[in-house]
Chain A
Amino acid sequence: MKHLLGTQDLSREEAVLILDTAAQMAATQEREIRKLPTLRGKTVVNLFFEDSTRTRISFEAAAKRLSADVINFSAKGSSVSKGESLKDTALTLQAMGADAVVIRHWASGAADQLAHGGWLHGSVLNAGDGTHQHPTQALLDAYTMRRHLVDGPDGKGLDGLHVAIVGDILHSRVARSNVHLLTTLGAKVTLVAPPTLLPVGIGPWPVTVVHGLDAALDGPQIDAVMMLRVQRERMTGGGAAFFPSPQEYTRLFGLDGQRMARLPEHAIIMHPGPMNRGLEISAEAADSPRSVIVEQVANGVAVRMAALYLLLAGEEQM
Chain B
Amino acid sequence: MSGAFIISGALVYGEKAADVAVVNGVIVPVGDAPSTAVRVDADGLVLLPGLVDLHTHLREPGREDAETIETGSRAAARGGWTAVHAMANTTPVADTAGVVEQVWSRGREVGLVDVYPVGAVTVGLKGEHLSEMGAMAHSRARVRLFSDDGICVNDPVIMRRALEYVKSFDGAVLQHPQDLRLTEGSQMHEGEISAELGLTGWPAVAEESIVARDVLLAGHVGSRVHLQHLSTAGSVDIVRWAKSRGIQVTAEATPHHLFLTHEEARSYNPLFKVNPPLRTAEDVDAVRQGLADGTIDIVATDHAPHPVEDKDCEWAAAAFGMTGLETALGIVQSVMVDSGLMTWRDVARVMSTTPAAIGRVSQWHGRPIAAGEPANLTLVDPRAEHTVDPVSHASRSRNSPYAGRVLPGRAVATFLRGTPTFLDPRCEGAFA
Cα separation A222 to B82 with both chains bound (whole Å): 67
Cα separation A248 to B362 with both chains bound (whole Å): 62
A203: B residues at CB distance < 8 A: 192
| Interchain CB contact under 8 A, B314 and A133 | no
CB of B70 within 8 Å of the partner chain: no
Cα separation A127 to B152 with both chains bound (whole Å): 37
Contact of A87 among B197, B267, B313, B316 (CB under 8 A): B313
Contact string against A for B residues 257-273, beta-carbon threshold 8 Å, 1 for contact and 0 otherwise: 00000000001100000
Contact of A113 among B184, B193, B201, B314 (CB under 8 A): B314
| Interchain CB contact under 8 A, B316 and A199 | no
Contact string against B for A residues 59-74, beta-carbon threshold 8 Å, 1 for contact and 0 otherwise: 0000000000000000
A286 to chain B, nearest CB (A): 27
Contact of A109 among B192, B201, B203, B268 (CB under 8 A): B268
A85: B residues at CB distance < 8 A: 313
CB of A84 within 8 Å of the partner chain: yes
Interface centre among B190, B192, B198 (most CB of A within 10 A): B198
A46 to chain B, nearest CB (A): 18
CB of B335 within 8 Å of the partner chain: no
CB of B230 within 8 Å of the partner chain: no
CB of A52 within 8 Å of the partner chain: no
| Interchain CB contact under 8 A, B198 and A132 | yes
Contact string against A for B residues 48-60, beta-carbon threshold 8 Å, 1 for contact and 0 otherwise: 0000000000000
Question: Which of chain A's residues 122-139 have a Cβ closer than 8 Å to chain B?
Answer: 129-133
Contact of A112 with B268 at beta-carbon distance under 8 Å, contacts A107-B314, A130-B316 already known:
yes
Contact of A199 among B201, B268, B317, B318 (CB under 8 A): B201
| Interchain CB contact under 8 A, B197 and A83 | no
Contact of A83 with B313 at beta-carbon distance under 8 Å, contacts A173-B198, A200-B195 already known:
yes
Cα separation A203 to B318 with both chains bound (whole Å): 29
A129: B residues at CB distance < 8 A: 198
A202: B residues at CB distance < 8 A: 192, 195
CB of A201 within 8 Å of the partner chain: yes
Contact of B194 among A81, A107, A116, A199 (CB under 8 A): A199
Question: Which of chain A's residues 202-235 have a Cβ closer than 8 Å to chain B?
Answer: 202-205
CB of B309 within 8 Å of the partner chain: yes
B401 to chain A, nearest CB (A): 16
Contact string against B for A residues 84-110, beta-carbon threshold 8 Å, 1 for contact and 0 otherwise: 111100000000000000000111111
| Interchain CB contact under 8 A, A200 and B201 | yes
| Interchain CB contact under 8 A, B190 and A200 | yes
CB of A80 within 8 Å of the partner chain: yes
CB of A162 within 8 Å of the partner chain: no
Contact of A84 among B181, B184, B313 (CB under 8 A): B313
Question: Chain A interface (Cβ within 8 Å of chain B)?
Answer: 8, 80-81, 83-87, 105-110, 112-113, 116, 129-133, 173, 176, 199-205, 240
21 A-B residue pairings within 8 Å (CB atoms): A80-B317, A83-B309, A106-B316, A107-B315, A108-B198, A108-B316, A109-B268, A110-B314, A113-B315, A130-B198, A130-B199, A173-B198, A176-B196, A200-B190, A200-B195, A200-B201, A201-B191, A201-B192, A201-B193, A201-B201, A202-B192
Q: Which 6 A-B pairs have the closest CB atoms?
A: A83-B313, A109-B268, A83-B317, A132-B198, A131-B198, A107-B314
Question: Chain B interface (Cβ within 8 Å of chain A)?
Answer: 181, 184, 187, 190-199, 201, 203, 267-268, 309-310, 312-318
